[in-house]
Chain A
């Protein structure tokens, strides 16, 4: 599908323009990132994803994250409902949800730690162990599969030099299979951290991997 003659104005399409900034790809009308202080008190978590060098001994949230957490609490009639957004914030800060984080989140929300563990392990997106700087999730579900997703997956494994589900030795990449990412018209879809890459073919993979190696884990 690599000769599709359009620029899908998604994140980064098949244009080879992976090194462009958001503004360049999308134009000035890009709505863009939510402000660091969280903007409106809506519950959505956002980028940056996996900020490096976070102090594991620090309180679960502090500063602007504590503010975001408090704003999130105001959106629900009871504290327990804020658990998913809270775990999302935890993962945003630390890259994964550890037992200590689960315990502290439980204390903050008045829940039993066992219940928090049950919730954190139910959902796919909460990483239960640290992952590489770039979490590469290749959709191999039917629509992408019909259009060569398994070849794309194999290419990613080759160029990142990892096993499926494992982190590469340099700590840069973890490659996993994902279920349908809802970009079926633009196969193969690959989600890397919080960005979608659409219309990816095995030929594009080398370029994408090179591009990522030059970036930090925080997306632009």
Chain B
């Protein structure tokens, strides 16, 4: 069965079996070569596994882009306390829908990646923190975990290696902030999912006070392939600083929205015009958010110059984030969409830090007032300055995420704001 849309420009490594429900069965997974990488990894020392991942240059796929092998190497090399691997499956960033697909189509790929990762960081227990709304993914994962236990791929003495690793699927309860790694640890411990200050870092004091590492679903899904084929193999895709493939989640005003696995460094404009079948109704491109709602907007001109890797996005003044490409055409109402994003942050703020707690709601209120035609040009100055006060002053970066769409939209689409302020006119309908 062909997945919604498949492009021949894709390099389908992680997403090879999207659309194929048989892949959920452990027997099928094994037939197709599954759990061999795990066997290989368990035969290696933990530090050797880390070296393979380091050599691949894999960067965290959850948005921060931190080299995974380096992150794993922060864990203590001696086992003095229990170590934990946390899989961040709390996918809540607006525009992002890759982890859900990975979990519900290929759960064993994720499980295998988790087990290899646990071995590499000397962890005995993996918690897959899966978002609460993902009932299907939770179920599929729980069943897959059960099947894997039944076959001996999880549990005691896996592959007679002497290593014991347990996996628990922990269902969240609806909070975007639990996707922040320290917020996730607090939520796993049964508390409010409020981020913690760093230092201490999770590799020193993490879940339950023990050394922990948190990795995104997509990152862990890449691990079995890297271990099976080697770091050099992975580097054949992508760019030098951003190697490998990435699942790009394209949504918005394109003809064929969906997940596309492409090598990093892919030109954004080709993604829109070729892979996604071009703009809906042939409309003109107005704006793109290339990395989920927390990164700055870019206009059509910048989009044409943008290559989809971590460095390429920085060059045009935005960030790759989790590679969730939201495409807006000429019918989009920028002010309304920015307001909706800020509403989201105001709803999801945990409320600890004052700039975020007060600033998100204040920003949303100002934007709503502007949308209703009651804004002033002073409001734009207030927004620029006040959101800048939310950058770098808080425990986590949710606060910084509000500044990105607000400041970039005022800078690049000021006329839309002014139309509302001066004439009460909207410049879009969507």
B332 in complex: contacting residue of A49, A76, A84, A146, CB < 8 Å = A146
In the complex, identify which listed stretch (A50-58, A179-187, A208-216) lies at the interface while the others stay far away.
A179-187
- Do residues A32 and B143 form an inter-chain contact, with CB atoms below 8 A? yes
B97 within 8 A of A: yes
- Do residues A26 and B21 form an inter-chain contact, with CB atoms below 8 A? yes
A67 within 8 A of B: no
Complex: A148 Cα to B253 Cα, angstroms: 11
Contact A183 B344, CB 8 Å, known A31-B144, A44-B142, A146-B253: no
B251 within 8 A of A: yes
Complex: A181 Cα to B174 Cα, angstroms: 10
Give the residue name and chain of the A residue nearest to B149 (CB): A40
- Do residues A119 and B341 form an inter-chain contact, with CB atoms below 8 A? no
Complex: A179 Cα to B95 Cα, angstroms: 11
What distance in Å separates the Cβ of A202 from its nearest Cβ neighbour in chain B?
A: 14
Most buried by B among A34, A44, A47, A194: A44
Contact A84 B4, CB 8 Å, known A39-B146, A122-B193, A148-B430: no
The number of chain A residues with a CB under 8 A from chain B is 67
> How many residue pairs at the A-B interface have CB separations less than 8 Å?
214
B181 within 8 A of A: no
Contact A142 B135, CB 8 Å, known A29-B24, A185-B251: no
B58 within 8 A of A: no
B406 within 8 A of A: no
- Do residues B190 and A47 form an inter-chain contact, with CB atoms below 8 A? no
**Residues of chain B in range 158-181 having any CB-CB distance to chain A below 8 Å:** 166-176
- Do residues B100 and A183 form an inter-chain contact, with CB atoms below 8 A? yes
**Residues of chain B in range 169-200 having any CB-CB distance to chain A below 8 Å:** 169-176, 187-193
- Do residues B142 and A122 form an inter-chain contact, with CB atoms below 8 A? no
- Do residues A44 and B130 form an inter-chain contact, with CB atoms below 8 A? yes
Give the residue name and chain of the A residue nearest to B19 (CB): A9
A143 in complex: contacting residue of B2, B131, B251, CB < 8 Å = B251
- Do residues A46 and B142 form an inter-chain contact, with CB atoms below 8 A? yes
B94 in complex: contacting residue of A26, A34, A119, A142, CB < 8 Å = A142
A87 — which chain B residues lie within 8 A by C-beta?
Answer: 173
Give the residue name and chain of the A residue nearest to B337 (CB): A142
- Do residues A146 and B328 form an inter-chain contact, with CB atoms below 8 A? yes
- Do residues B175 and A143 form an inter-chain contact, with CB atoms below 8 A? no
Contact A182 B92, CB 8 Å, known A34-B139, A44-B142: yes
A181 — which chain B residues lie within 8 A by C-beta?
Answer: 133
B21 in complex: contacting residue of A29, A124, A140, A179, CB < 8 Å = A29
B24 in complex: contacting residue of A31, A39, A80, A186, CB < 8 Å = A31
B141 — which chain A residues lie within 8 A by C-beta?
Answer: 42, 44
Residues of A participating in the B interface, judged by any CB pair closer than 8 Å: 4, 6, 8-9, 11, 26-27, 29-34, 39-40, 42-47, 49, 75-78, 80-85, 87-88, 109, 111, 115, 118-119, 122-126, 137, 140-143, 145-148, 178-187, 191, 194-196
- Do residues B135 and A195 form an inter-chain contact, with CB atoms below 8 A? yes
**Residues of chain B in range 22-39 having any CB-CB distance to chain A below 8 Å:** 22, 24-25
**Residues of chain B in range 337-355 having any CB-CB distance to chain A below 8 Å:** 337, 340-341, 344, 347-348, 350
**Residues of chain B in range 4-25 having any CB-CB distance to chain A below 8 Å:** 4-5, 19, 21-22, 24-25
Nearest 6 Cβ contacts at the A-B interface: A124-B174, A40-B146, A125-B174, A83-B190, A123-B173, A194-B135
Contact A142 B99, CB 8 Å, known A34-B143, A44-B138, A119-B190: no
- Do residues A44 and B4 form an inter-chain contact, with CB atoms below 8 A? no
Most buried by A among B91, B169, B188: B169
- Do residues B94 and A146 form an inter-chain contact, with CB atoms below 8 A? no
- Do residues A42 and B167 form an inter-chain contact, with CB atoms below 8 A? yes
B65 within 8 A of A: no
Complex: A8 Cα to B1 Cα, angstroms: 10
